[in-house]
Amino acid sequence: MSETGVAGLALSGGVSHQRRRDGMTVDNLVSAQVVLADGRIVRASDDEHSDLYWALRGGGGNFGVVTSFELRLHDLGPEVFAVNVAYPLDDAVRVLTAWRDAVADAPDELSTAGFIWSLPEVEELPEELRGLPYVGIVGMWAGDPDEGERATQALREIATPIVDMSGRVDYLEFQGALDAFFPAGQRRYWKALYLDGLTDAAVDATVEWSNRRPSNDTLVIIRHCGGAMSRVAAEETAFGDRSSEWMLSIDSTWIDPADDERNVAYTRAFWAAVLPYSDGKTYFNFPGLLEEGDAAVRASYGSNHARLARIKAMYDPENRFRLNQNIRPALEILPEPGELAA
């Protein structure tokens, strides 16, 4: 969404509409200006404070306040081909498995997601469709729009669509198309999980739990990852392992505070039900940690966690920056060769 703040996005991942072609936002961070816990202002890059630069790319707000970002740019658009098709919810298993098979060997230009949601209550839709739950496919071809239309035709013919809004669109328009559906003031509890594979059983569980959504505003989305994202080794950035091609996100959204307990409990039960199809790694822009705490953080960072804890101890030994997916400072600082770059 166009209103997403760049700081959280750029420090904890960033899965854009062109993620498979250009990688994650963390992969395109060239440098950052950081205010440290002791008040110093430093520049982190490949050749200045390279340990901090490594940690920022996936370590979130654990190490300081980033006041400016330098980001690598890529040619795109101005027009792209956007996929946005809605199918009947009764076809959910069929649509999600067909989508999975169709994009398994997709070129990097195509980034898509399968999801279950509800059509918006807007005048542009016929009255009988407003608020109707559905299964959909959304995504973008980051290349020639005509080529994208041909490459995505099969995704728009899996079943009989309720509505197909796919077509050529200005990239900036597509990037802001969902803003109106995530207004300020809503209640949100979002929880993500990388899947070992999008097996038939994982699809069945996702559909079953999506059908139990306590709020029509809740979005359940499976993003296809891979591509350029997966060609960054786990040790190259703090973000860690990129081997999973599928990321499930349970984006529970509601309005009435009286419904908090019900929606949070649903999200956590859904997450627990699909955990057997995952190694437990979460996506830290949608962590929903609550009582998992340190265990979830360690599981998600994997072998990178020990190095992150050492770097934390160097730059924030008192753990001032802790209202996050917190990385506690290592009790003893035992830096590896090359970690203490100037």
- CATH number of the CATH domain containing 272: 3.40.462.20
**What is the CA 116 to chain-centroid distance, rounded?**
16
Q: Is residue 136 within 8 Å of 86, Cβ to Cβ?
A: yes
pTM over 0.75: yes
Last residue in a domain, options 276, 291, 306: 291
Three-state DSSP at 70 gives: strand
Domain identity same for 70 and 215: no
pLDDT, tens only, 128-157: 999 999 999 999 999 999 999 999 999 999
Residue 326 placed within a domain: no
- Whether omega before 276 lies within 30 degrees of 0, making that bond cis, reads no
Phi, psi of 23 (to 5 degrees): 80, -175
Residue 1 placed within a domain: no
Domain identity same for 28 and 88: no
Domain identity same for 92 and 69: no
pLDDT of residue 291 exceeding 70, the answer is no
pLDDT, tens only, 301-336: 999 999 999 999 999 999 999 988 899 999 854 444
Residue 144 pLDDT: 97
C-beta neighbour count of 306 within 10 angstroms:
14
Domain identity same for 136 and 211: yes
Domain identity same for 280 and 164: yes
Domain identity same for 19 and 119: no
Domain identity same for 122 and 179: yes
pLDDT of residue 341 exceeding 50, the answer is no
How many domains, the chain?
2
**What CATH number is associated with residue 30?**
3.30.465.10
Domain identity same for 217 and 70: no
Q: The domain containing residue 54 runs over which residues? A: 6-74+295-315
Domain identity same for 271 and 141: yes
pLDDT, tens only, 21-48: 999 999 999 999 999 999 999 999 999 9
Cα–Cα distance for residue pair 264/211, rounded to 1 Å: 16
